[in-house]
């Protein structure tokens, strides 16, 4: 059976599922994350639920079959069945690592109790974080075990290109493809990531497990 990691690893190399209008169902990589990935002409549902239930529910959607996996009714049904929650549908972007030193000075956060590190650990594994003058850069392993990046820029230094520098710097810190999840409506972030060489490859709806405690 194909794995979620295999799907993402291939997509990072520019090899995508067949644009046949179909939907594949693959197991979750971890208990934490389930959801849907949408590529051109093909979707991938990653869940430990019965694939038969997934396909039957999709067939019952009163919409174009290509749109069904991201249809709010299907996502709601999947959340109700699994007890999970979702925040938004994001664009998926990916970039290859870059050689050499980052284009700005970064200082790694060594404090495991730092608020940004604690927040990231609720969503990713193997979290590392760095500060720059006016911003924070975080990497960690998220969906399917892929390496993901997120950044924050202080309000007072926005519109100066720091976001683009930070996501460019992240490519110099890694040795494998680096993924980003960006809300399509966040045009500023989309422009920053694309200017830094990240290319859009699809969309994702991430369903998170209920919080414990």
Kindly report the pTM of this predicted structure. Answer: 0.92
Q: Are 85 and 79 in contact (CB under 8 A)?
A: yes
* CATH fold for the domain made of 93-200: Aminopeptidase (3.40.630)
Give Cβ neighbours of residue 21 (< 8 Å, ≥ 6 apart).
41, 42, 65, 66
User: What does the chain come to in residues?
Assistant: 213
Tell which residue, 3, 30, 47, has the closest CA to residue 143: 30
Are the CB atoms for 204 and 88 separated by under 8 Å? no
What CA–CA distance (Å, rounded) separates 153 from 132? 9
Cα atoms in the 13 Å half-sphere on the side-chain side of 199: 9
pLDDT score recorded for residue 156: 65
Write down the pLDDT at residue 190. 95
When pLDDT is cut at 50, 70 and 90, the band that residue 159 belongs to is: low
Contact 32, 18 (CB under 8 A): no
Asked if the model's pLDDT at residue 93 lies above 90, the reply is yes
Q: Is the pLDDT of residue 1 over 50?
A: yes
Q: What share of the chain is helix, strand, coil (3-state, %, to 5)?
A: 30, 30, 40
Using alpha carbons, select from 184, 191, 180 the residue that is nearest to residue 8.
Answer: 180
> Where is pLDDT greater, at 156 or 49?
49
Start and end residues for every CATH 3.40.630.30 domain found in the chain: 93-200
Q: What is the pLDDT of residues 13-27, one digit of tens each?
A: 999 999 999 999 999
Confirm if 143 and 5 have CB atoms less than 8 A apart. Answer: no
**Tens of pLDDT, residues 98-130:** 999 999 999 998 877 777 778 888 889 999 999
């Amino acid at each position: 059976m194909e794995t979620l990691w295999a799907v993402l690893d291939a997509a990072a190399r520019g090899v995508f599922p067949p644009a046949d209008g179909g939907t594949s169902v693959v197991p979750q990589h971890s208990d934490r994350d389930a959801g849907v990935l949408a590529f051109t002409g093909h979707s991938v549902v990653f869940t430990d639920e019965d694939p038969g239930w997934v396909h039957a529910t999709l067939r019952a959607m009163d919409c174009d079959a290509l749109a069904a996996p991201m249809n709010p009714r299907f996502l709601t049904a999947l959340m109700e069945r699994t007890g999970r929650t979702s925040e938004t549908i994001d664009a998926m972007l990916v970039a290859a690592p870059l050689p050499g030193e980052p284009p700005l000075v970064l200082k790694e956060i060594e404090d495991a109790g730092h608020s940004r590190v604690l927040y990231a650990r609720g969503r990713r594994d193997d979290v590392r974080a760095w500060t720059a003058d006016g911003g924070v850069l975080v990497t960690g392993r998220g969906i399917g075990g892929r390496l993901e990046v997120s950044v924050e820029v202080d309000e007072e230094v926005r519109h100066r290109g720091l976001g683009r520098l930070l996501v460019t710097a992240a490519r110099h810190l890694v040795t494998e493809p680096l993924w980003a999840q960006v809300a399509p409506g966040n045009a500023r972030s989309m422009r920053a990531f694309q200017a830094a060489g990240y290319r859009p490859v699809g969309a994702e709806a991430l369903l998170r497990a209920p919080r414990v405690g």
